[in-house]
Structure 1
Amino acid sequence: MKNRPLNLKKSNPAKKGKGTLSYLRRHWIFYAMLALPVLYYYLFCYRAMPGVVIAFKNFNMFKGIWDSPWVGLEYFKRVADSKNFWLAVRNMMTLNILGLVLGFPLPIILALFLNEINQVLFKKTVQTILYLPHFISWSVVGGMMYQIFASSGLINTIIKGLGGQAVQFLSNNGWWIFTYFIVGVWKSIGWNTIIYLSAMTGIDQEIYEAARVDGCSRFRMMTAITVPCIKDTVAIMLILAVGGLASIGFEQPFVMQNSTVMEVADVVSTFVYRVGLEQANFSIGTAVGLAQSVINFILVLSANAISKRVSGNGIW
């Protein structure tokens, strides 16, 4: 049997270019959908990024960013010497760690149980009810929260009606943290389950069929098949959650805090708002934001490295 020579064809750049153009013509609608998000991130994230030099300048809005005098690390030193800043950092870390330790597993558990529901109509109804809070504005949630948790709110009215004493959910430090956690979980848990349910839909159903033939219970299949199959998604979400420990959203703390609980309710985002906007000290606000971004970046890298070393899974 004679050996036939290999027919090695050289790639034609012109054909590659035509293939790319043909692909873009077929799928142009999908790239058009990306136009607005890309424009948003360009205008409000990347194009605004040079403005971080304000942190190193004595910013004067009349002189502009580039004509304002340089002061080096002066504003970073002021922030480091501020007791209010470190109090805000402590509160932020307390709330974030509480949300990570107690709140992170809840969407996974909820998604596992939702995945076990066989009745399609009931499952979709439950999912819709759980997703709805995500679409409610924090301003509306704040009003609802006061109607429910205030001294004269729904819960305390029921407690008083049963002969008990009113619980100071919004004016006691410990109860405020508890209320903050409960409200945050209620608003986000349904939406976060989407990610895990999407990962579960990609699991090969033949694995479940083989497990049923072997006599596995539904709980055993959940722990031995579903959980291992979504571990990559869980690892990625955990890395992102750890990477966000040094930052916290503005809306929920701002809406829920009041003067009686500022000792535990004032976080870095509200500190930046108060100093940067209310006191018009833009340089300090920018310095805090830049420091947060650097710390978050380091945390993401560290969490990714630890995850790859422990489980072999990471973002990159």
Structure 2
Amino acid sequence: MENTLSTGSIRVEADPVKKRNKIGKDFLLNKYLYLMILPVIVYYVTFNYIPMYSALIAFKDYNPMRGVGGSEWVGFTHFTDLFQSFYLWRILKNTIILSVYSLLFEFPAPIILALFINEVKHKLIRKFVQSSSYLPYFISLVVICGMIKDFTNSGGVVNSIITFLGGDGNAMLEKPELFRPIYVLSEIWQKIGWESIIYIAALMNIDQDQYEAARIDGANRFKQMLYVTLPGLLPTITIMFIIRMGNIMNVGYEKILLLYNPAIFETSDVINTYVFRKGILEFDWSYSAAVGLLNSLINLVLLFYANRLSRKISENSLW
């Protein structure tokens, strides 16, 4: 059986059998490419799509013996408990503040590093800067957090310098007001090199004729960077910004869990660490699922509006 499509005075017949044959031929022609992408598809289906069913426990009084389907339905009870919780304002405030600090200081850092690396003409210096900035990203997070604790302890390197300059030299991770600067600075140190790779790759695609034209017009290196390099990077910066907005509420809880202690809960406790405590330590799976689901919905809304705003302002967007 054939479907008929009409386009003005021209009639085009679309045969489903021919379409299937075309898909089959494409699969045979690119079978190795399909095989290469198969593990990625299996990973996302297994660990991202199938677990979506378990999000129902946010609306149930989950009992492991009864399973997701057999547990009692309680509706929005857990969400109501969350909005009435004493800790809601604290975890929201800490999550937003840490996310904003990361957006203001960590997000521009790899862009600035990429711009400086692009301006360095000496190959050995350029390779040294790139290699040394990449290295912290490949160190285990547990080791990184251990180093941060050692450096900021009362007898650590950082506190030794502070004591020499006249400070008190007390353990810095026991002071709530110092947790946020320590977290953001360590994030920059750990990720700046790795995140700069995509910007360096984007810089390589900028047409070199534009630099030549700018030099002919009398532009110095700073003006070339301002009027040629930055506009060339703008589409990549926009896409990375939209992606960051979609994860703005997902502050890295693994690092916070390894760094924080009850003395600094006031400034270090975020949504994801609260979910960990309620779900893993207190076995309140339904309540923690409700908190996590609400957090994901906020991220989705932020991603949608960031993409929409970017499309209106710069005509660059994810979709």
TM-score by length of 2: 0.89
User: Aligned Cα RMSD in Å?
Assistant: 2.3
Give the conservation status (yes or no) of the 8 Å contact 2:203–2:229: yes
**Alignment of structure 1 residues 288-303 onto 2, 5 Å:** 288-303=291-306
Question: 1:136: which partner in 2?
Answer: 139
Give the conservation status (yes or no) of the 8 Å contact 1:56–1:74: yes
Aligned AA (1:230):
L
**Alignment of structure 1 residues 256-295 onto 2, 5 Å:** 256-295=259-298
Give the conservation status (yes or no) of the 8 Å contact 2:55–2:289: yes
Question: 2:5: which partner in 1?
Answer: none
Give the conservation status (yes or no) of the 8 Å contact 1:272–1:288: yes
Aligned AA (1:147):
D
Q: In 2, distance between residues paired with 1:37 and 1:205?
A: 36
Question: 1:4: which partner in 2?
Answer: none
Alpha-carbon displacement from aligned partner over 1:182-212 (angstroms, at most 9, x marks no partner): 1111111111111111111111112112222
Give the conservation status (yes or no) of the 8 Å contact 2:110–2:192: yes
1:12, distance to aligned residue in structure 2 (A): 9.3
Question: 2:96: which partner in 1?
Answer: 93
Aligned pair 1:125/2:128, yes or no?
Answer: yes
Unaligned 5+ residue runs, structure 1? 1-8
Deviates more, 1:172-181 or 1:261-270: 172-181
Deviates more, 1:223-232 or 1:32-41: 32-41
Alpha-carbon displacement from aligned partner over 1:57-98 (angstroms, at most 9, x marks no partner): 111100111011100101111111111132111111110011
Q: Tell me which stretches of 4 or more aligned residues in structure 1 moved more than 6 Å.
A: 9-19
Give the conservation status (yes or no) of the 8 Å contact 2:105–2:184: no
Q: In 2, distance between residues paired with 1:15 and 1:165?
A: 79
Which of 1 and 2 has higher RCO (CA within 8 Å, sep 6+)?
1
**Alignment of structure 1 residues 236-251 onto 2, 5 Å:** 236-251=239-254
Identify, as 1 or 2, the structure richer in strand: 2
Question: 2:76: which partner in 1?
Answer: 73
Question: 2:6: which partner in 1?
Answer: none
Aligned pair 1:178/2:181, yes or no?
Answer: yes
Q: In 1, distance between residues paired with 2:303 and 2:107?
A: 16
The alpha-carbon distance between structure 1 residues 118 and 16, as it changes in their structure 2 partners (threshold 3 A), is farther
Q: In 2, distance between residues paired with 1:168 and 1:175?
A: 10
Q: In 1, distance between residues paired with 2:266 and 2:105?
A: 22
